[in-house]
Amino acid sequence: MKLDDTRQTIAETFDRTADTYDAVGVDFFGVFARQLLDDVGPIAGDDVLDIGCGRGAVLFPAAERVGPTGSVLGIDLSPAMVARTERDIADLGLDITVAVMDAQDPVLPGRLFDTILSSCVVFFLPDPIAALRAWHDLLRPGGRIGLTTFCGDDPRWSPVREVFGPYIPPEMIWSMVNPANPMASTENFESALGSAGFTSPSSVIREHEITFADPTHWVDWSWSHGQRLFWELIPPAEQPAVRAEVLSRLAPLRDPDGCVRMKQAVRYTVAHRP
């Protein structure tokens, strides 16, 4: 697939998720955002760029940390996501700017930011290393970048993931399992940051427990973010049967209280521009 096609697919997918993204009662992106902000530590007066801001999981708490003497700009490839987040900003009366922009190659002046934050984004990009180089140039000397990436799946959920397997194109599967992929290991990811010009990369892997009220809640949630890409690979006529199969495989995972819980491993990485 051409880069332009990949960008369009991602933008259109997240356009369709904008109204429900991070808004179906699951504390997921917010968990990672809070920890990432603690790790990076933006301070009052910092100028912050949030790349792939979505509905503001990082954006809003970052604005609180930098205060009125700092600034926060959020960018996202999805016009619908940006429009929805603009409405949230207006409703809250906050001084935050968001803009439609490609994370792969943001069109911004160089050396503009003290801090760049990007949570659960870089693995969607057609050329992550090229993107990291572009992000490096946006930081002021001494600036820092903080990123989150997924780094492992809950093995109990393998039967659920297997349902989607027959619909995933071979090239996408290879990209996910390729040991040379920058996301394949902490060593690979920190090496990618080094090749982009960053120094002193440091990563911590943390496991978070994510709770869903019941199997149907997980299915609804999975349509509300990037997982939607995998649902939409399934022909519409087959989706009801796949949904039923997913629900049947989720049923044994229910705890006595009826909830379904998933352990999600997340890599938190901080690096610096010299």
* pLDDT tens-digit series, residues 226-247: 999 999 999 999 999 999 999 9
* Model confidence pLDDT, tens digit, residues 88-117: 999 999 999 999 999 999 999 999 999 999
Query: Percent of the chain having pLDDT more than 70?
Result: 99
pLDDT, tens only, 150-182: 998 999 999 999 999 999 999 988 888 899 999
Whether 36 contacts 148, CB under 8 Å: yes
Domain 3-155+179-211+263-272, CATH class in plain words: alpha beta
Q: DSSP state, 266?
A: E
- What does the pLDDT read at residue 4? 61
**Does residue 20 surpass a pLDDT of 50?**
yes
Compute the C-alpha angle 97/100/102, nearest 5°: 120
**How far apart are alpha carbons 132 and 128 in whole angstroms?**
6
pLDDT higher at 270 or 3: 270
Cα 152 to its chain centre, rounded Å, is 15
Q: Which one, of 33, 117, 26, lies nearest residue 75 by Cα?
A: 117
The separation between CA 3 and the C-alpha centre of its own chain, rounded to angstroms, equals: 19
Band of pLDDT at residue 6, cut at 50, 70 and 90: confident
